[in-house]
Amino acid sequence: MKTLFIAATLSLVSQTSVADINSIDAAANTMNLEALNQISQQSVDYEHAYAQYRIAITANILGQRGVAKRALTDAQATLEAVISREDHAESMTLLAQVYGMQIAYDGAKAQQLSSKAGALLQQAEQLSPDNPRIALVKAMSAFYTPAQYGGGYDKASELASLAIARYQNPCDEICWGHAEAYTWRGLAKQELGQQDAAKQDWQQALTINPDYGWANFLLNPTSTVNASQ
């Protein structure tokens, strides 16, 4: 009886986590800060940090830099606490991305946080070698990193393609990022002068997630969503 109770509890926790992630993504797609804040307040650990991460992105798009910076600080503290208790690849990966966004706000932190982010991604990949979000976060980093420092648009496109391939694997828990991988690859292709291929990637992002506002804006620039993430 006790074993059945524990199994049922773990199943409920897993379902709740999936629901939280899906709810966060749905709110982020429509840039609903109120919904994101509500979900964040009702969530803990990774789900709370992920909601704060999406708040940061949404607030940045809306020009609310103070809100974005506070959300990143909250996400950082939450994820660091999770990692202090357990080796959790998803938390390490998301924290690396949070560090990257913080660097964008304060370049003086670049040297310190970039080394931390790199170490986190390396550790996460050892724990979860086929994790698509690790490749996605690396692609985002490469997009903004000059080629002479190991980044560049070719590298970003390559890493986004790796993420896309990894997203073909079955996933039943933390699964976000598939549409984003196509979107970032499209951005890299655009910078490489491959406009038609970029549009194909953005269209594929919408095939995966029809409500994905950023890809929709890139294909329809007259829409009200600001593409600057």
Q: What is the pLDDT of residues 14-72, one digit of tens each?
A: 333 566 899 999 999 988 999 999 999 999 999 999 999 999 999 998 899 999 999 99
Query: Would you report the helix, strand and coil content of the chain in percent, each value rounded to 5?
Result: 80, 0, 20
Give the C-alpha separation, 65 to 55, whole Å.
11
Q: What is the per-residue pLDDT for 109?
A: 85
Of the candidates 67, 218, 45, which has an alpha carbon nearest to the alpha carbon of residue 54?
Answer: 67
Give the C-alpha separation, 77 to 148, whole Å.
32
Give the C-alpha separation, 156 to 145, whole Å.
9
Pair 163, 132: CB distance under 8 Å: yes
- pLDDT of 161-188, one tens digit each? 999 999 999 998 899 999 999 999 999 9
